[in-house]
């Protein structure tokens, strides 16, 4: 940690601050430049409250050198984490496609889509029961009933299931869910993160639409700090000035995450663009950039889908896409 000190402060205030820092077990390496006085703080800087340091009158600026995340940090855990979701493995060379409708609507719809995506080779079935919607007047999901239908589809097809948890009070209902999704809008709902940190169920943590990679890893850290080490990160597009698509897929996040963390990284090309025709090129790009999986919206009849129809593809289109995905995953050296 680097502390840049103000120029004209008194010797007393410097020595007061020095005593305070040293009392925390840190050593100070002083560097007096022509214009600036710097202190390099050596020791376990995690004990330091940066805000307190910054608020000190003699301090001009504080800069952290080390990443603030530990459990998620590849430096501490060089090996890729492989997450096992009901027998299906993701990460460490294992690639998976998660597919299904935005929201569960009827028994027929989810069963039909489940059957088709399984046939096409998807490893997991997704489907929303509780839906976060911008408008209170929009369809909010079938809720408990939706979850029941999804569990039934799991039973019939044998596919592990993924669905979004919106609040701590629903956790009891999610006992048989194989992979619990934390949505983009809840990426910094720290209460929810702490609760799922107490579970053993794998967590799919979507990136908030304007959260940095560091903030995202800190949210994963909340889950891991609670004891749940089964975290998968899901890039789903960030908010930028560009309005040609709903979000801007941050493809660079994939190689950056691969360097910074050992956790598996999945890409959601459906939400990233919000446009059906872009699902294929963005899927290809994600595989090429090193992703460990894809999450794709499939609906048996997008024109009547209660949500996200514009970005959903049909089971037939999914069949064709899966052919390409399989070949591309193999070309880039992963197993599927």
In the range 117-176, which residues lie near its own copies by CB under 8 A?
132-139, 166-169
Structure tokens at 205: 């943590």
Question: Among all chains, which residue has been given the structure tokens 């579970």?
Answer: 199
162 or 307: whose CB is closer to its own copies? 307
Q: Taking CB under 8 A as the rule, which mask of x and - marks residues 282-321 in contact with its own copies? A: x-xxxxxxx-----------xxxxxxxxx-x---------
Using the rule CB under 8 A, is 14 a contact of its own copies? Answer: no
19 or 135: whose CB is closer to its own copies? 135
Backbone angles phi, psi at 240, to 5 degrees: -130, -170
Single residue of 9, 14, 18, 56 touching its own copies by CB under 8 A: 56
**Footprint of its own copies on residues 65-124 (CB under 8 A)?**
65-66, 68
7 or 87: whose CB is closer to its own copies? 7
7 or 175: whose CB is closer to its own copies? 7
Residue 236 C-beta: closest distance to its own copies, Å: 12
Single residue of 12, 49, 172, 175 touching its own copies by CB under 8 A: 49
Distance CA 87, CA 159 (A): 10
Distance CA 316, CA 305 (A): 16
The per-residue b/e assignment along 157-191, b for 16 or more CB within 10 angstroms, e otherwise, is bebbbbbbbbeeebbebbeebbbbbbbbebbebee
Binding region for its own copies (CB under 8 A) out of 112-120, 121-129, 156-164, 275-283: 275-283
30, 37 contact by CB (below 8 A): yes
Residue 249 C-beta: closest distance to its own copies, Å: 5
Which residues pair with residue 234 across a beta bridge?
Answer: 206, 266
160 or 269: whose CB is closer to its own copies? 269
Using the rule CB under 8 A, is 268 a contact of its own copies? Answer: no
The H-or-E segment that residue 18 falls in is helix 11-22
Single residue of 10, 36, 106, 320 touching its own copies by CB under 8 A: 36
127, 100 contact by CB (below 8 A): yes
Among 36, 84, 108, residue whose Cα is nearest residue 231: 84
Backbone angles phi, psi at 294, to 5 degrees: -135, 150
Using the rule CB under 8 A, is 198 a contact of its own copies? Answer: no
């Amino acid at each position: 940690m680097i502390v840049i000190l103000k120029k004209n402060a008194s010797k007393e205030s410097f020595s007061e601050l020095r005593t305070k820092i040293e009392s925390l077990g840190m050593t100070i390496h002083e560097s007096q430049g022509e214009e600036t006085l710097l202190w390099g703080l050596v020791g376990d800087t995690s004990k330091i409250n940066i805000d307190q340091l910054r608020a000190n009158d003699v301090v001009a600026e504080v800069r952290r050198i080390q990443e603030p995340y530990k459990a998620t940090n590849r430096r501490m855990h060089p090996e890729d984490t492989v997450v096992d979701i009901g027998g299906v493995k993701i990460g460490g060379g294992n690639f998976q496609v998660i597919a299904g409708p935005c929201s569960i609507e009827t028994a027929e719809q989810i069963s039909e889509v489940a059957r088709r995506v399984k046939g096409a080779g998807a490893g997991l079935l997704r489907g929303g029961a509780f839906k976060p919607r911008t408008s209170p007047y929009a369809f909010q999901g079938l809720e408990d009933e939706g979850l029941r239908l999804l569990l039934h589809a799991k039973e019939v097809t044998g596919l592990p299931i993924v669905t979004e948890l919106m609040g701590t009070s629903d956790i009891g209902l999610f006992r048989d869910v194989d992979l619990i999704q934390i949505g983009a809008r809840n990426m910094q709902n720290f209460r929810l993160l702490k609760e799922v940190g107490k579970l053993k169920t794998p967590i799919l943590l979507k990136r908030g639409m304007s959260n940095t990679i560091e903030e995202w890893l800190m949210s994963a850290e909340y889950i891991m700090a609670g004891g749940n080490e089964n975290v998968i990160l899901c890039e789903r597009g960030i908010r930028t000035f560009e309005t040609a698509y709903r979000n801007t897929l941050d493809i660079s996040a994939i190689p950056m995450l691969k360097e910074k963390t050992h956790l598996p990284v999945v890409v959601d090309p459906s939400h990233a663009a919000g446009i059906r025709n872009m699902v294929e090129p963005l899927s290809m790009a994600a595989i090429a950039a090193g992703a460990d999986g894809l999450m794709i919206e499939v609906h048996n009849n997008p024109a009547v889908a209660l949500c996200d129809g514009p970005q959903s593809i049909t089971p037939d289109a999914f069949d064709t896409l899966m052919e390409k995905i399989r070949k591309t995953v193999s070309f880039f050296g992963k197993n599927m």
